[in-house]
Amino acid sequence: MISVAAELVGMHQQTLRIYETKGLVRPRRTPGNTRLYSELDLERLRVIQRLTTDLGLNLAGVERVLQLEDELAQLRARVTRLEREMREAVDETHRTYRRDLVPLSQSVELVPLRLRPRTLRRDST
């Protein structure tokens, strides 16, 4: 409820109503229209309080910061999902590799030719 939320975050109830009107926080509502604040809502209110009190941002600045933080969270989730999909694709590719190896004969030279020391040829003149 708004009274409990206001007390928990150290704000006035009217401040919470203003923040809701501005769209900075969106508490759920009961069928009787009572506001219900989640832990995430309370944390968001604490962030708003730090931005306004400690950094001196106005509500337009707070709104922009929160938008950017929400975007960043979405992008991080997307990167995590893409990394997981990439790992799965790589693992699937590795599973398709042929497992039959051809034995390497002992006579095969593994040193590239350009790295072999040159042998000196002596003319027999």
Digit-coded pLDDT (tens) for 66-124: 999 999 999 999 999 999 999 999 999 888 877 766 666 666 566 666 655 666 555 55
pLDDT category of residue 1 using cuts at 50, 70 and 90: confident
| Whether the predicted pLDDT of 58 surpasses 80 | yes
Spatial separation of the C-alpha atoms in residues 62 and 24, rounded to whole Å: 8
pLDDT value, residue 125: 52
pLDDT at residue 94, rounded to an integer: 86
In the structure, what pLDDT confidence band is assigned to residue 54 with cuts at 50, 70 and 90? very high
Q: In the CATH scheme, what is the code of domain 2-94?
A: 1.10.1660.10
Burial of residue 109 (CB within 10 Å: 0-12, 13-18, 19+) is: exposed
Contact 25/44 with Cβ under 8 angstroms? yes
CA angle 83, 84, 85 (to 5 degrees): 90
- Name the residue ranges covered by the structural domains of the chain: 2-94
3-state secondary structure of 1: coil
Q: Which residues contact 65 (CB under 8 A, 6 or more apart)?
A: 51, 57
Q: What is the pTM of this model?
A: 0.63
List pLDDT tens digits, range 14-50: 999 999 999 999 999 999 999 999 999 999 999 999 9
Task: Check whether 11 has a pLDDT greater than 90.
Answer: yes
What letter represents residue 72's amino acid?
Answer: L
Query: Is the C-alpha dihedral spanning 107, 113, 116, 119 positive or negative?
Result: positive
